Amino acid sequence: MICPHTRAQLPRYSSHIATSQGLPSRGEAWAIDGPVRGLAPAQWQWPSRPIFFISDAHADAAAFDASLLISGGVQWVHNDLQLTREGREGLFVIGGDCLDKGPSNLALLRRVRRLMALGASVKLLAGNHDMRLLMGLRALALPASPLTDHLFVRMGAKAVPLLREVFDSYLSGASLPAWVPDADECRRRLLPADRWFREFPRAAAGLMPPLAIDKEVKRLREKRDTFEDACALAGLDIRAVYATAHHCLQLFCEPEGEFHWFFRDMELVHQEGAFLFLHAGLDDTLASVLARKGSACLNRLYRHQSHHQPFEFYYGALANALRTKYRKVDRPLSEAGVRRAWQQGIRAVVHGHRNRLQGQQLTLRQGLLHVEGDVTLDRNSRRKEGLSGIGAGVTIIRPQGQLIGISRDYPYAKVFSADSIAHVRSPRNQAAP
């Protein structure tokens, strides 16, 4: 449907989606936070196909379904998803954090896989919660080391719902396998020993700033001391946790595992036209790699480090793309970094990670437009934030030069058009290409 107020093409919501009530049927001009000044629209390369960005579903399969259905790229036919014409032509970018919090980790993963099986083009981006699972599972298969012995318990209580789901789906109703050791040995293998708190600072010296090391040690002591209790509250003793963790290792990391595709297909960044997609944000180091070698090189570095050098990845520059919130403690994005991004044709960063309560938000950071697309989908976060119902939200980028943010928590579709770009400033000292 065409909104007369913005001339935006809004998607036609499926009548089978329970959350359709209250979804916006009118658009409004999408305002940008921060001062702006001139940039010609011709300098932007809009994607040649529709893009549907959905991020931070956090194991809420119902919210993910709702977001797909309001995108206009998917409809519900005969109790199953079906791609629309626009969905067949477009690209679905899953912006990370599919896992943790609950209530339906496995159902959400199977829904993403179903979307792929329908023939949809899907880009699956790494989120910090997703990578915490991968790091924790890979640590189980590595030789003992103060740099990796803590990575399993570092997942913390937020990973317990996934462990419970895997236990219920694959291990409940029978005795634990004979190879599962006694409780004390399981504890020794899963949790960092007291000596880890002395050894880690020495091993990490020179690889992490001293303040970051101190903070990590403090965080890990709390996580270690509370992890077993969190599992017990979910009905899992330490032996069940050990057996479940090794089953997760098979499911996610072995080639024959049901969810092996999840980390195999995952990428750190994706660029389409002037838009760079990633989970959290950009910094000067990442922008420099992008300018010199492009997104393919960045993804190769991510794949190698995340699979073979878990400590170097998780505490290094690449992981800033998963966790930055542009705080003082994060790696900086300066105007020099933005100029490098411009050299690669990047004019906007589309990301999740920072949850918003009233729909998507546009922000200028050093002259680079940021599209913040985490609209609080999962019901556990919604309950904490005072939001009701099932979350639903999608950010749509159309080849005609329209950027549309739709959320069930905001009464209007937010529309940013090619005409609006005349108000976005270029980074200082950057000549127009």
Average pLDDT across the chain, whole number: 90
Q: Measuring CA to CA, which residue among 164, 136, 170 is closest to residue 310?
A: 136
3-state SS, residue 372: strand
Looking at residue 275, what is its pLDDT? 97
Residue 276 in this model has a pLDDT that exceeds 50: yes
CB atoms closer than 10 angstroms to residue 314: 22
Q: What is the DSSP letter of 412?
A: S
Residue 404 in this model has a pLDDT that exceeds 90: yes
Looking at residue 426, what is its pLDDT? 54
Looking at residue 173, what is its pLDDT? 82
Looking at residue 9, what is its pLDDT? 76
What does the pLDDT average to over 337-346?
94
Contact 130, 108 (CB under 8 A): no
Which range of 134-138, 172-176, 421-425 scores highest in mean pLDDT? It is 134-138
What does the pLDDT average to over 336-341?
95
pLDDT digits (tens, 9 = 90+) for 22-71: 788 889 999 887 655 545 555 789 999 999 999 999 999 999 999 999 99
Q: What is the DSSP letter of 146?
A: T
pLDDT band at 14 (very low <50, low <70, confident <90, very high): low
Residue 314 in this model has a pLDDT that exceeds 60: yes
Q: For the whole prediction, is pTM greater than 0.85?
A: yes
Contact 353, 303 (CB under 8 A): no
What are the angstrom distances between the C-alpha of 109 and each of 68, 394, 427? 14, 18, 40
Helix axes 128-140, 238-253, angle to 10 degrees: 110
Q: What is the DSSP letter of 389?
A: S
What are the angstrom distances between the C-alpha of 124 and each of 47, 133, 137, 427? 18, 16, 19, 30
pLDDT digits (tens, 9 = 90+) for 152-197: 999 999 999 999 999 999 998 888 999 999 999 999 999 999 999 9
Looking at residue 103, what is its pLDDT? 86
Residue 363 in this model has a pLDDT that exceeds 60: yes
Looking at residue 428, what is its pLDDT? 54
Helix axes 210-233, 238-253, angle to 10 degrees: 110
Bridge-based pairing of strands 8-9 and 2-3 is antiparallel
Cα–Cα dist 376/386, whole Å = 11
**DSSP readout, 4-49?**
TTTTEE-----TT-GGGTT---SEEE--EES------GGG----SS
Cα–Cα dist 61/64, whole Å = 5
Cα–Cα dist 47/273, whole Å = 5
What does the pLDDT average to over 372-376?
97
Looking at residue 38, what is its pLDDT? 44
pLDDT band at 349 (very low <50, low <70, confident <90, very high): very high
State the sign of the Cα–Cα–Cα–Cα dihedral 381, 318, 200, 211: negative
Stronger pLDDT, 89 or 329, i.e. the higher one: 89
**DSSP readout, 264-320?**
HS-BS-EEETTEEE-SS---HHHHHHHHHHHHHHHHHHHHHHHHH-HHHHHTSSTTH
pLDDT digits (tens, 9 = 90+) for 90-119: 999 999 999 998 789 999 999 999 999 999
Looking at residue 416, what is its pLDDT? 93
Residue 119 in tokens: 């023939």
Residue 179, burial from CB neighbour count under 10 angstroms (0-12, 13-18, 19+): exposed
Phi and psi (nearest 5°) for 346? -80, 125
Residues 6+ apart with CB under 8 A from 341: 276, 282, 287, 290, 291, 349, 368
Looking at residue 3, what is its pLDDT? 54
Residue 140 in this model has a pLDDT that exceeds 70: yes
Looking at residue 430, what is its pLDDT? 45
Contact 361, 135 (CB under 8 A): no
Looking at residue 429, what is its pLDDT? 44
pLDDT digits (tens, 9 = 90+) for 244-267: 999 999 999 999 999 999 999 999
Share of the chain above pLDDT 90, in %: 79
